[in-house]
Every structure is written in C-alpha cells, then in structure tokens.
C-alpha cells in the first residue's frame, strides 16, 4: 500500500529533524515557535525523491523552464526541471532583492514554472514571478512543497501546494508571546 503524500512528508520531517522548536524570526519578519530548516528535508536525496516526483506531477501544461531560489528552492527547481525535461534557472537574494545568478537567463515568451519549498506568505514566489515578468516571460504556475496554513497565499498565478502544514504559528513581533516572556531568539 502506498502511503499518502502527507504521511511520507511527516515521516521525512521526523527522520531529518527538519522541524525545530524555539523562538524564531521567520523570513517574512514574523515570529514563530516552530521553524522549518527546509534544506534538512533534502539531506538524503533518495528519501526526498517523492517530493520532486509529486511536484513535477502537478503540472501538465507546456513549460519551458523551472525557476527557483535559495538553497532548498534551487534543488527543488533542478529536480523538478529534470523530471519535466525542461531548463532550470536559479535566483538568489542579495540586499533583500532577488536576482538570477549570473549565467542564467529567461527569454521573453518563455513559459516559466516557479517553485519554492515552504512558505508563510508566498513572499519568495512573488519575487520570482516578478523576475519572470520583468524578463517578459509568462509565469504559468507556482508549485510549493508546503504552506503553513496561516495565510491565504494568493500569487495571482495558478498555485499548487503539496502539503498544508498543521500547528504552525507566525505572529508579528509586537504580539509575539515569546518576546513578551523575554525568550531570546533562537540562533
Ligand atoms: Zn518573538
């Protein structure tokens, strides 16, 4: 019997210890008591293959290129592009802005699939959509491994989410109970 995607994902979280407890400042600027080290999910490439397979299976429309960013997002983009038999482009963040890494290019009219690992608000995916649009390419979809289930992630682009996480939290620093208790941020 094949396990559901969610059961496989939960097993992967357990074995990689990717979900950490503490007091974290998230990429969105919000604070949370649980933090995903997404890259840890990928420490055993064979164990993570089901995620790449599931991501590639979400998209049947014509795609020319997969675009991802940062460490885990780059690996996800590469593996998804491999399965879709298309090109890949990688962006990274410098000075709070996303840019394509030198050597990668997106051509006008190219149909670009944007992928990202785990998002709170979809901020990275939004910035990658902007990169595609500024190259006059066509963002045809967004694939996310997971959302934290806290916010409506509306990217103005057809979005597939493999897993909605349960029990995640994200609050503004001003209303963060851990800040109010004087708990230092986890480094
Ligand atoms: Zn806090």
- d(CA 159, ligand 1 centre) in Å: 30
- d(CA 37, ligand 1 centre) in Å: 18
- pLDDT-derived band at 1, boundaries 50, 70, 90: very low
**How confident is the model over 3-55, as pLDDT tens digits?**
799 999 999 999 999 999 999 998 788 999 998 888 999 999 999 999 999 99
- d(CA 119, ligand 1 centre) in Å: 18
- d(CA 176, ligand 1 centre) in Å: 5
Neighbours of ion ligand 1 (CB under 5 A): 31, 176, 178-179
Give every CB contact of residue 148 below 8 A, 6+ residues apart in sequence.
118, 119, 120, 164, 165, 168, 170
**pTM of the complete model:** 0.88
Give every CB contact of residue 45 below 8 A, 6+ residues apart in sequence.
none
Total residues belonging to the chain: 187
pLDDT at 161: 92
H helices of 32-150, in order, are: 38-41, 45-57, 70-84, 123-134
* Alpha-carbon gap, residue 23 to 160, rounded angstroms: 29
- d(CA 181, ligand 1 centre) in Å: 9
**How confident is the model over 78-130, as pLDDT tens digits?**
999 999 999 999 999 988 889 999 999 999 999 999 999 988 778 899 999 99
- d(CA 90, ligand 1 centre) in Å: 32
> What domains are defined for the chain?
3-180 (3.40.50.2020)
């Amino acid at each position: 019997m094949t396990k559901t995607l969610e059961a496989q994902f939960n097993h992967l979280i357990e074995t990689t210890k990717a979900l950490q407890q503490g007091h974290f400042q998230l990429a969105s600027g919000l604070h949370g008591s649980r933090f995903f080290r997404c890259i840890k999910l990928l420490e055993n490439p064979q164990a993570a293959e089901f995620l790449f397979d599931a991501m590639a299976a979400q998209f049947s429309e014509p795609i020319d290129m997969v675009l991802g960013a940062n460490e885990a997002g780059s690996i996800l983009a590469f593996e998804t592009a491999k399965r879709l038999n298309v090109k890949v482009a990688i962006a990274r963040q410098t000075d709070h802005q996303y840019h394509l890494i030198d050597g990668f290019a997106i051509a006008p009219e190219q149909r670009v699939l944007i992928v990202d690992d785990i998002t709170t608000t979809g901020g990275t995916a939004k910035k990658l959509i902007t990169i595609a649009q500024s190259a006059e390419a066509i963002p045809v979809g967004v694939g996310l491994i997971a959302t934290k289930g806290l916010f409506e992630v509306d990217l103005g682009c057809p979005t597939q989410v493999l897993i909605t996480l349960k029990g995640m939290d994200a609050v503004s620093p001003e209303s963060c109970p851990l800040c109010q208790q004087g708990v230092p941020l986890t480094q």
